[in-house]
Every structure is written in structure tokens, then in C-alpha cells.
Structure 1
Amino acid sequence: MARIICIGEAMKRYMSKTGKQSIGGAELNVAVALSSLGWKTTWLSVLPKNDEGMIAAISQTGVESVIIRNDGEVGKYTVIEDEQRVQYQRENSAFALMDPDEINVRTFMQGHEWVHITGITPFLGQGPRALWNRVMIFSELDDIKLSLDINHRSALCSRDELWDVIEPHLRKVHLLTMSKQDLHWIASKEGMLGSEEEICKQIARKWLINRVGCTFKETQTGRLKGWEKRWSIVATPSEVESSRENKILHRPIEHLGSGDAWVAGIIQNEKNADLIAVIQQSTFGDFFLSNNVDCQSAEFKIISRIVNTGIIPIIRSSSRELAEKEAERVVVNGAQCIEFSLDTPDCIQLLGSIKEKEILKGIGTVKKPIKEVLKSYKSGARFFLSPNNPEEFIRECKMFNSLAIPGVSSIEEAEVAVSQGAVCLKLFHSKNDWSIEEMVNIRRLMPEIVLIPVGGVMAEDVETMFEIGMDAVGIGDALQFMDDAELQTLFSK
């Protein structure tokens, strides 16, 4: 089991509108995420003599804490939600007022393979800067791998001031991580040209850094307003890996802490680091806490593809031949995913006959999940819809790292499905059981859940559905009344 020690300040967090409270701190967030990923993690920090609540909360995450006490305060920060900014109160925090001579940091670091720090710490006070410098020195002397997240905070220092502190130490760093803004600033400062991938490689080459990582978030507009696309770059002096062509589309519920979760994934050399960040943003709080990363990653990948295309054509027919022709027609005209209803003859075999790798395939009208999910999964189905929410449906889909989309006809049924682990709901029947007002209401009540109206949806309804916040729509019978040009227009939306 890999061991890492993360050194830095943690604070109490307050939400200005909801009053919610939690704990957060860049270095602690990384420790918590790596603990969830199976690492042995230690967090070294300084807290007030009279504060035990923070330690009690952190102990539940599996992170071991090494705490030095003094007479300072607990640092605080408030998220001003309406203004999308953070307000800090940390000048007199215990961490800022530390005496570095009271912390035998070299001894605490021994026995760890990694140490993680950020560019925040040296600007919290003279004591924190001295401690940060010692971590740099001892990591090199004792051959401990050093992870440094630039993590520029404009309230603490300018980028020039930050660069003056960290640049002389970069040759000691094994992993350097940063934001898009950090990357572009360094490129300008150092006169580096080329693509973002090439610039990451140039940074690794210039300072002989084993790996350089950069994370990107792209805010979406139009029907995808409120969604983001996340991707990243990891470069060595000679090679580069980029997920630019495989961006993860998701709706963030939490806007803080995702970069730290991503850093944890990169430290672990995890190919799913982007998805780890996405999972962290799907719940409130700075911490990444997941005991089933593979399942959640699979769900988010499937959701990303469904929401990105927006339209699920539903193939249903009393004739296998007609169903096969209709499936071929929608694929040729631009469908990126397709659902075969189980009440179509030989539908599982039909699903298996679609060989285009870029098509996401699903099965609908699931009523006997234990039998039907396994059989369909073997033929390539990766998402499953049911007219209701049969017993074991959600659990069975999760067993195969697939997406369950249970049907619900009311908010009460939706709440039950979500309590069972559903992250995506089929609003069925959208014409008979869901009014526009009810759809707007469930969107407001469940901002984190993917909502897909199905049942009686016509092509002319699609724009309205997107305008009220629905994430995708399922269209079945209406397909047969549309010509090829109309299908192309539909799928282009």
C-alpha cells in the first residue's frame, strides 16, 4: 500500500445561502481522495488547542492526522454563492501562526513514498513558508517523491510572487500540477510556444520534472447550460497523454475540491483522474469519498455520452425486420446512441448486430432485471431503461458497471429511486404523467439527477424539453413519421 503525507492548512467552510458547513483544504482534500483510492495517507497540520471537531470529522475519512497545537484560531472561508467567490478568514489561524521549529517535519516525512504540498502554504505566513522550504529540502535529501500543486490564490499573492518562490525548487519536484490559467501564465512568462500539450512537455523538459499535469474545465452554454466538460494533460519530458478528445460532460453540484481530487488521481497515475474529479463534483463538500470508483466512473461516462447527444431513439416494432431497418436508418442519419425495447422480437440479437463502436447501445422495457440485464450486457448494452423501477433493477445494473434509468411517474417515485442509488431518471409517461410544471419542479428539487422524459415525445417537443432543463429525451413512435432530413435535423440538436 502506497504511503503519502500531505502538509497544509484545513479550514471550516460555510455556504452563504444554505448555511451548510464542511471542512476543506487543498492538501487535506488530496489526502482524503487518496485514502478513498486505497492509499495509506497522513495529514500534517496545525490546529487550535481547543478544536477537536475537525479531527473527529477527518478521522472518519481514513486519513491519519498528525496535529501540532497552538493558541491560534481555526481558519474559515465562506462561499458567496450569488457572487461565485470565496471569502477567507485565515490571518490569525493556528496554521498561519505556527512556529516551524516545533514541527520535526523530517521525522514525520520518513516512511512515506510521497509528500504533497501546494503553492498556498508559503504565503500564509513566515512560519508556513519556512516549513514549506524544509519539506522541499528534506524530500530531496531523503529521496521522497514530491508532488506540488501550484494552486495560485490571488488573495494571497500575485503569480509573479508565487513563481519567484516555487521556480527555484522545480527540479526537486516529481509531479507538478496546475490549472489552465497557471499553464498559460508560465508559457507567457517563459516564452513557450505551441499547443497546451506541447507546453506541458516543455515545462517537464526544462526543469526535469517526471510528470507535469494540467486540468481543464469548459463551461457549456445553450441546452447544456450548467454543464461542464473536463479533460486534462499529463506530460513527461518526452511524451504526453491528453484526454482532449475524450472530454467528460457533467453537471457539477460542487465547484470546490475537484482539482484536488484530480491531483490525487494523477498522483496514483490513474487513467480515470478526470472522472475522479467529476465524481467529487457530484456531491456537496470538498472531499472525494467513494468506495466504488469503477461503477461511478462507468455511470458518468455513459451519462456524458447520452447528454452530449441529447436524443435517445427508441426502436420498438412487432417485426424484427422493421426494427432492424429503423435502427439502421437512425444510425445512418446521425444517432449516437440507440435503445432497443425488449418487446421487439429478437431485440437483444438486434442490439448485438450493431457493430459501430461509436454507438452507445441500451435496452428498454426491462421488467425482469436479474435475467434481462445480464443477457443484454453480454450483447453490448451499457444503459437500461424500465417503465417503472422493478426490484433489484438499479442494483443489478450497477453490478455490471452499467447505467440504470428507472421510470418514475411522480416526484415521490423519483425520491425512492434516488434513495436506491439512481443517478438518472426516466420521466414516464412524459405526456400522461408529467406536466411541464412538474418537470420544472423536479428539475429544481433534483439538480444533480439526469432527467430524461420518455413517452409521447414528438420532434417539436424537443426544444421545449431542453429549455426547461431536461438533459435528454427519448423518442420512439414519432421516428417512423420522420424522413431522413428530419432525422438529421433532430440528431443535430
Structure 2
Amino acid sequence: MLRIAPKTEEDYFSTNTKPSALSNTLLTVGGDELNVAIALSRLNVPSQWVSILPTGRLGDIVMRSAELAHVDMSKVQRMDNSDVGLFFVIPEAKRVEYQRRNSAWAAQGPHHFDFSSLFAPLRKGWLHVTGISPMTTPNAALNWADALEAAQKHNLRVSMDFNHRPQLGTLEKLWEITKAHLGKLDILILSLESLKGLCGLEGVEFGDDIKGALLLLHNKLKVRLAYCDKKRYFKEIEGKDTEVQVRFSVITDNSQLYSTEEYPVHHIPKDECGGGSAWAAGYILGRNEFQSSSEQIPWKAILRRADLLAALCQESVGDHSTVTRNELLHCEKMFVDSIADITNPNLLKTTKEEKVADLKDVVVGLCDAKIIPILRAKNTQLTIERSIQLIEMGCGALEITMDTPDILNVLQKTKQYIDSSKKKCLLGVGTILHKDQVQQVAGLVQFAISPIFPKDFVTECKKYNILAIPGASSPQELWNTKLEGAQVVKLFPSQLWTPGALKEVLNVGPLGELKVMATGGITPEKYQEWLSAGAVVVGMGSRLCGGDLKYNETDPEYAKEHLHWTNQGAKLAADLFAKVKSQ
């Protein structure tokens, strides 16, 4: 959808343009489901949007806005002679007005999508829906129901933002549609107004005790419920009275209430839209990532993450969140078990000194690890399983190459395992060929390796607090990386060198300050020669990690290589890591 809203309360007509030029009108791409997909993608969670858009430039605008955030748009269908949905923000009435009658979404036929085929390949996936979509047309309601049925069939969790809009229909109608599918939902997110309305429909008393009413409704419906509470107050900031929003959230689970009311978030919204979508994205991220050793889900940590993401999203204008994983995690670390006051934006900026200290810790960690297993694979699930296996064996650093299928999902799952298991293992990505790839892995990795020296690679990595390890193959290239600020350099391919040649280069004056990672053709039997020659760490691929990674399960070579890994390779790797630790 496209959002049209006046920017300010000032005169809408610019004195420098024709009277018809509404220079203070804001035009943005919006829509809750797309907002959530983009917010998650910015956090390095692989996301896909399924919808219908018109052919032509209007549809292209929506497509491009999502593609820039790396949302998978491959399942979006395009329709001729149709429009995009519009919604107009009316500040005076504090409401929005929809125009979706001629939109491509409204023109869809019954059972338009084969959701079962779309969801079948997903493993532990998530579907996010709202109450807006099924209220647009009867056919949209049928397709919405098809999506929930398919999600249940393929074991996808489902979050639903109830999001009742009176302009689209009555509360009773939306509740009739929703109630039939409550058993498929992981969570139903409500506004306070919708909570009050549903309590009335279900005969639950709604008085001053809002949380009590939520719990009563939860016990009756047997579904997890949540709502976000927002209040405003004024405080003086830089000599001006400024309106500040306080937000916290409440959730029910197994007849219990959990809330962040004790530690709310204080912030100054730059835009009233987008916060609810970001909250849902933060909830989904928390449910996917937070682990607990007991059966109790860490609800307060999940709610805090959702609250922070919602507040940070509204630090910029527009429906779509631009918050990165690094920014979110940094904010979480700043406000552990305390009120999160982010009204001063400077508090959210990691200082240059902190970043340098963090990168030095990564350098030390790589030197301690001595060996970096390099996973370049064709099988996504096998890559995740092998990563976990190597981590359990005791490797201190792990590189997964960028050309591995579904790389962001692989990195995410591997990072989740490292975080939840408390294993001491640095996670990095390899085969970075241009600086734009760095942003995609921000927040997932601690180091990034390139076989070459892409332009602005070191600078881009520093921006995201990632240690850059550019490639070099000659003494001049080695020295150039140091001049550009690289703390570690990858000697590649090391087959063109010998340990003796590296030792000679490092004996030449300031070249001895270089921290070199030798990679290419190094075997478990020969790694020590490179370390003795002055390399601080070596990288090893299939000879350490298993030759089966190079093949798909259907390839004839796979079975033989996998058997070799099971019978010999795994023990060789485990023994090597044990040897390194004992040195």
C-alpha cells in the first residue's frame, strides 16, 4: 500500500512552487505484513512477502522498496489493469481512510495462492497476518484462511495483529472471521480499543484493570494474547518542552501475565506509523532466538526486544523499520533490567573506542583459535549441522562462505546455537566480493573475509563493527591492506607461497607487524608449518570440514564422502581441535 499524509501542521503550499505542488505531503510505502517482512530482513532474518501488485511503476515502487531491504519478492504476482491500495492519514481525526476497491489485492480470485506449496519447503518458519487483509473482499478472506490452514499443515507458527479498521467493516465481522482460526495462532496482538471490544463480545468484564481483563479473555479463548500500552508526557530536552512516549507490553501464556511495565521504553516518535509492525517483528525475532534451559519461555526478554524495536523504528519517518541487528542488540545491552530512555539519540551510538576494543577482542580470539574451518557447501541443512558439530568439537572460530545456499539462514541458525549453548566460537563469513554484502550479515558475524580487496571493504566492516580480513597474494598487496587499516590479512592462495617465503616477508621491517591468515591448500598435517612461519591463524576447507559439503545429497559422490566423514573425518577434526587447545 501507499501512505499519503501531511508532513507538518504548517501551510501545505510551498511559496517556491506552483500552488498544486503539495510539498509537505509525505508519500511512503506501507502495509503491516510488508512492514514486518522488511523489519525482519533488516535484522538478517530471511523474509518473504506474498501478495499481488499491479504491473507498471506503482507496483515497481513497492517491489523495489522491499528488494532494497533484501525481502524475497519472488512469490509476488503482478496484475494488469489494477492499482495499489492507498490509505490517507487524517491527523485531525487521528484516523486513516482506505481506498482499496480497485487494488490488485482486492481483485484476487478465490483460492488464488497455493499456500501449501509455498510453505512446504519451510522449516520452523513463521507466518504473520493481520485482520486488515481478510476484511478487504470475500475472496481475500478465503485466501487469508487458506494461508492459515497451510501454515498449520506445515507447522508454521502464526502471529496475527488483529488491527481492526472500522472503515473496512465491523468488529463483529472481523471477530467472526478470526475466531474460527484461533487454534492456529501463536499469538493474537490487540490494541486496547480492540481488547475492550472483544471483551464486550465475549462477555468479559472490562474495567480499570486492563491486564486482568486480558487474562480473563485469554482464559476463555485459550489463545496467547498481547497488547502494547502507550502513554505520553512532556519533559524538557535541550531547553524545549518535548512530548515523550512511554511504551510497554503485556502478554498472557498458560493463564499467567507477563509485562515490561516495570521497565518501559521512553522515546520520541518521529512517525506515528510503523511501531506496531516493528513490535510484531521484534516478537517473532525473540520467539525464534531466545532459548531457555527450562520449559518456561523468557517472555520479558521477548517483550523487551519487541518494545525496543518498535521504539527504534519510530526514530525515523516512514512505515518501514531501518533498525539493524547491531543497533537493536546494542540497545538491549545498554538497558538490562532497567528503564530504556532513548530520548537522547547519542546514547544509542556505540563509541569509536568501544568498537575498536571489540575488534581487538576478535583479533585475539582468532589468534587463540589458530585454525578456522571453512564451510563452503551446497546443502543448507548439512551446513548448519556440520557447523554445530565443529563447534561442539571445540573450534574457536568458524567461517561460512557467502556462496553457501540460504547463507543468512545458515548464519542465523549457527549464531543461535553459539549464543544458546554459550560456546566460545567466533562466527565469520567468507567470499565477500563487494562492500554491499557486509550490511547483509551485520549482527550475525564478527569477522568477514574476502579473497580479494574490495573497495571500501575495511571501512564498511568498521561501520557494522565487523573485523575485515581482505585478501592479498603478494608482498605489495599485503602491505596495502595494512595501509588501509586491516588488522588481519588473508594470504590467498597460499599454494603460491611456502611457509619459508612467508617467514622471509615477515622478517622485513614493519611487514612483521602483519597478522596473516594463510588459506588455500593447507592440510591438517601441514598447518603447524604455517603457524611456525608467522601466520597467526590458518583456514582449512573440505580437508578438515568434510568433502561431503561439496555435493548435494543426490550426487553420486556424496554418499562416499559422507561415509568418510562419519568414519574418519570427524575424529580427525576433533583430534586436531583438541591438539590446538593443548598447545
Determine the structure 1 residue equivalent to 2:321.
288
Counterpart among 194, 213, 221 of residue 199 in structure 1 = 213
Partner of 1:148: 160
Shift of the alpha carbon at 1:307?
A: 6.5
Are 1:67 and 2:73 an aligned pair? no
Deviation string 1:304-358 (CA, Å, 9 cap, x unpaired) is 54969xxxxxxxxxxxxxxxxxxxxxxxxxxxxxxxxxxxxxxxxxxxxxxxxxx
User: What TM-score does the superposition give when structure 2 sets the normalisation length?
Assistant: 0.48
Contact 2:132 2:165 in 1 (8 A): yes
Match of 1:217, SS state, is strand
Conservation of the 8 A alpha-carbon contact between 1:250 and 1:300: no
Is the aligned partner of 1:110 residue 2:120?
yes
Q: Secondary structure at the match of 2:87?
A: strand
Unaligned 5+ segments in structure 2 are 8-23, 287-301, 358-462, 465-583
The offset of 1:275, in angstroms, is 0.9
Match for residue 53 of structure 2?
47
RMSD: 3.0
Deviation of the 1:252 alpha carbon: 0.8
Relative distance call for 1:197 and 1:20 in structure 2 (3 A) is same
Q: In structure 2, what residue type is equivalent to 1:100?
A: P
Q: Aligned-pair distance for 1:248?
A: 1.4
> Residue type of the partner of 2:6?
S
Equivalent residue for 1:316?
A: none
Cα offset, 1:34, TM superposition: 1.5
Contact 1:279–1:297 (Cα < 8 Å) also in 2: no
Distance 1:279 1:72, change over 3 A: same
**Corresponding residue for 1:232?**
249
Matched to 1:146, the amino acid is: V
Map of 1:215 onto structure 2: 228
SS at match of 2:204: coil
- Kindly state the Cα deviation for residue 170 of structure 1 after the two structures are TM-superposed: 0.9
5, 8, 27: which one aligns with 1:15: 5
Q: Deviations over 1:241-287 (max 9, x none)?
A: 10112221211111011011001111223332111100011100111
Displacement of 1:114: 1.4
Counterparts of residues 12-411 of structure 1 (less than 5 Å): 12-17=2-7, 18-50=24-56, 51-65=59-73, 66-70=75-79, 71-81=81-91, 83-112=93-122, 113-193=125-205, 195-209=209-223, 211-221=224-234, 226-269=243-286, 270=302, 271-291=304-324, 292-297=327-332, 305=341, 370=353
AA at the equivalent of 1:162: L
Q: Identity of aligned pairs, percent?
A: 28
Matched-pair contact (CA < 8 Å) for 1:175–1:212:
yes
Shift of 1:203: 3.5
- Residue by residue over 1:67-111, the C-alpha shift from the partner in whole angstroms, topping out at 9 and shown as x without a partner, is 112232111223234554323221110001111344212211223
Contact 2:129 2:159 in 1 (8 A): yes
- Helix, strand or coil at the partner of 2:194: helix
CA gap of 1:105–1:305, structure 2 versus 1, over 3 A, is: closer
- C-alpha displacement of 1:174: 1.5
**Deviation of the 1:205 alpha carbon:** 3.3
Task: Point out the more displaced range, 66-75 or 254-263.
Answer: 66-75
Distance 1:153 1:299, change over 3 A: farther
Cα contact 2:97–2:167 (8 A) shared by 1:
no
| Matched length | 306
Structure 1 residue 115 displacement after superposition = 1.1
Instruction: Report the secondary structure of 1:277's partner residue.
Output: helix
Distance 1:369 1:88, change over 3 A: closer
> Alpha-carbon deviation of 1:134?
1.0
Residues 84 and 104 of structure 2 are in contact (CA less than 8 Å); yes or no, is this contact kept in structure 1? yes
* Distance in 1 between residues matched to 2:115 and 2:149, nearest whole Å: 11
Is the deviation greater in 264-273 or in 162-171?
264-273
Q: Distance in 2 between matches of 1:30 and 1:193?
A: 32
258 and 307 in structure 1: CA distance in 2 versus 1, 3 angstrom threshold: closer
- Please report how far the alpha carbon of residue 297 of structure 1 lies from its aligned counterpart in structure 2 after TM superposition: 4.9
AA aligned opposite 1:134 = D
Q: Relative to structure 1, is the Cα distance of residues 294 and 48 closer, same or farther in structure 2, using a 3 angstrom cutoff?
A: same
CA–CA distance in structure 2, aligned partners of residues 142 and 307 of structure 1: 43
User: Tell me, what secondary structure is at the counterpart of 2:40?
Assistant: helix
Q: Following the alignment from structure 2 to structure 1, what is the Cα–Cα distance between the partners of residues 285 and 215?
A: 20
Specify whether residues 289 and 172 from structure 1 end up closer, same or farther in structure 2 by C-alpha distance, changes over 3 A only: same
Q: Tell me if structure 2 keeps the 8 A contact 1:68–1:103.
A: no
Normalising by structure 1, we get a TM-score of 0.57
One-letter code aligned to 1:16: P
Tell me, in whole angstroms, the C-alpha distance in 1 between the residues paired with 2:35 and 2:353.
38
**Change over 3 Å in CA distance of 1:304–1:148 after alignment to 2:** closer
CA gap of 1:116–1:307, structure 2 versus 1, over 3 A, is: closer
Residue 120 of structure 1: how far off its partner (Å): 0.6
| Contact kept in structure 2, 1:197 and 1:242, CA below 8 Å | no
1:47-69 Cα shifts (integer Å, max 9, x gaps) = 01223222112101121112112
Tell whether the 8 Å contact from 2:264 to 2:339 is kept in structure 1 after alignment: no
How far off its partner does 1:163 sit? Answer: 1.1
User: Where in structure 1 are there 5+ consecutive unaligned residues?
Assistant: 1-10, 309-361, 363-367, 375-419, 422-493
Q: Is the 1:109–1:115 Cα contact (8 Å) retained in structure 2?
A: no
In the alignment, residue 328 of structure 2 is paired with which amino acid? V
CA drift at 1:123: 0.9
For residues 37 and 369 of structure 1, the distance between their equivalents in structure 2, rounded to whole angstroms, comes to: 22
Question: Is 1:171–1:207's contact at 8 Å kept on the other side of the alignment?
Answer: no
Structure 1 SS opposite 2:144: helix
